[in-house]
Chain A
Amino acid sequence: MIGILVSVINGLLLGSIYGLAAIGLTLIFGVMKVINLAHGAMIALGMFALYFLATSGGMNPYLALPLVAIGGFVGGVAVYWIGVHRVIGRAELMSLLATFAVSMIIIGLGTALWSTSPYNVQINIPGVAIGNYTIPGNHLVAAVIAILIAAALYLFLFYTRLGKAIRAVASNRQAAELMGIPSTRVLAIAFGIGIGIAAVAGALIATLFPFTILSGGGYELKSFVVTVLGGLGNPAGALLGGLLLGFIEGVVSPFVDVSWTPVIEFSLFVVILIAFPMGLFRVGRGK
Chain B
Amino acid sequence: MLKKPFFWIMVATVIAFVVMPIFGGIGVRESLFLAAVYMILALNLNLMIGYTGYVNFGSIVFFGLGGTLGIYAITVMGWPLWAALIGAAVVVALLALLLGLGILRLRGAYFALATIGVVEATKSFVSNFDPFGGSTGMYISFSSYKPLGGPREALWIVYFLVIAVLAASLLLGYMIKRSRFGLGLFAIREDEDAAMVLGVKAPLFKAIIYSVSSILPAMAGVLFFFKNGVIQPDQAFELTLSIEAIVMLMLGGQGTVFGAALGGFAYEQFRGYLLTSATFSNFHLVIAGALLLLIVLFAPGGLTGWLHERWSLTRRVLE
Chain A interfacial positions (CB closer than 8 Å to B) = 29, 33, 35, 83, 86-87, 90-94, 96-98, 100-105, 107-109, 111-112, 221, 224-225, 228, 232, 257, 259-260, 262-263, 266-267, 269-270, 273-274, 277, 286-287
- The answer to whether A286 touches B124 (Cβ under 8 A) is no
Q: What sequence of 0s and 1s flags, for each residue 292-310 of chain B, a beta carbon within 8 Å of any chain A beta carbon?
A: 1100110010000000000
Query: Interface of chain B, helix or strand or loop or mixed?
Result: helix
- The answer to whether A274 touches B105 (Cβ under 8 A) is yes
Excluding A87-B296, A96-B112, A101-B292, 10 further A-B contacts by CB distance (< 8 Å) are A93-B49, A101-B290, A101-B296, A105-B293, A108-B289, A111-B282, A257-B128, A269-B120, A269-B121, A270-B117
CB distance from A250 to the nearest CB of B (A): 18
A177 to B129, CA, bound (A): 54
Q: Name the contact of A228 in the complex, choosing from B113, B121, B287 (C-beta under 8 A).
A: B113
Residues in A with CB closer than 8 Å to B76 are none
Q: Determine if B318 is an interface residue (Cβ-Cβ < 8 Å).
A: no
Q: Name the contact of A262 in the complex, choosing from B55, B120, B283, B290 (C-beta under 8 A).
A: B120
Residues in B with CB closer than 8 Å to A86 are 297
A227 to B53, CA, bound (A): 24
Asked whether A100 and B292 contact (CB < 8 A) given A35-B109, A86-B297, the answer is: yes
Look across to chain B and name the residue whose beta carbon is closest to the beta carbon of A93: B55
Residues in A with CB closer than 8 Å to B283 are 108-109, 112
Look across to chain B and name the residue whose beta carbon is closest to the beta carbon of A111: B285
- The answer to whether A221 touches B116 (Cβ under 8 A) is yes
Which of B103, B118, B286 has the most chain A CB atoms inside 10 A of its CB?
A: B286
Q: Determine if B102 is an interface residue (Cβ-Cβ < 8 Å).
A: yes
- The answer to whether A277 touches B246 (Cβ under 8 A) is no
Chain B interfacial positions (CB closer than 8 Å to A) = 49, 53, 55, 57, 102-103, 105-110, 112-114, 116-118, 120-121, 124-125, 127-128, 135, 243, 246-247, 250, 282-290, 292-293, 296-297, 300
A266 to B114, CA, bound (A): 9
Residues in B with CB closer than 8 Å to A83 are 293, 297
Residues in A with CB closer than 8 Å to B112 are 35, 92, 96
A274 to B109, CA, bound (A): 13
- The answer to whether A104 touches B105 (Cβ under 8 A) is no
- The answer to whether B296 touches A266 (Cβ under 8 A) is no
6 A–B contacts, CB within 8 A, in A order: A29-B109, A109-B283, A111-B282, A112-B283, A224-B113, A274-B103
CB distance from A44 to the nearest CB of B (A): 14
A112 to B282, CA, bound (A): 6
- The answer to whether B288 touches A104 (Cβ under 8 A) is yes
Residues in A with CB closer than 8 Å to B118 are 266, 270
Which of A83, A87, A105 has the most chain B CB atoms inside 10 A of its CB?
A: A105
Which of A259, A263, A267 has the most chain B CB atoms inside 10 A of its CB?
A: A263
A98 to B285, CA, bound (A): 14
Which of A91, A97, A267 has the most chain B CB atoms inside 10 A of its CB?
A: A97
- The answer to whether B297 touches A98 (Cβ under 8 A) is yes
Look across to chain A and name the residue whose beta carbon is closest to the beta carbon of B57: A96
Residues in A with CB closer than 8 Å to B109 are 29, 33, 35, 92, 96, 232
- The answer to whether A259 touches B55 (Cβ under 8 A) is no
A269 to B122, CA, bound (A): 12
A277 to B111, CA, bound (A): 10
Look across to chain A and name the residue whose beta carbon is closest to the beta carbon of B49: A93
A43 to B248, CA, bound (A): 27
A100 to B116, CA, bound (A): 13
Residues in B with CB closer than 8 Å to A96 are 55, 57, 109, 112
Residues in A with CB closer than 8 Å to B103 are 270, 273-274
Q: Name the contact of B285 in the complex, choosing from A104, A270, A274, A287 (C-beta under 8 A).
A: A104
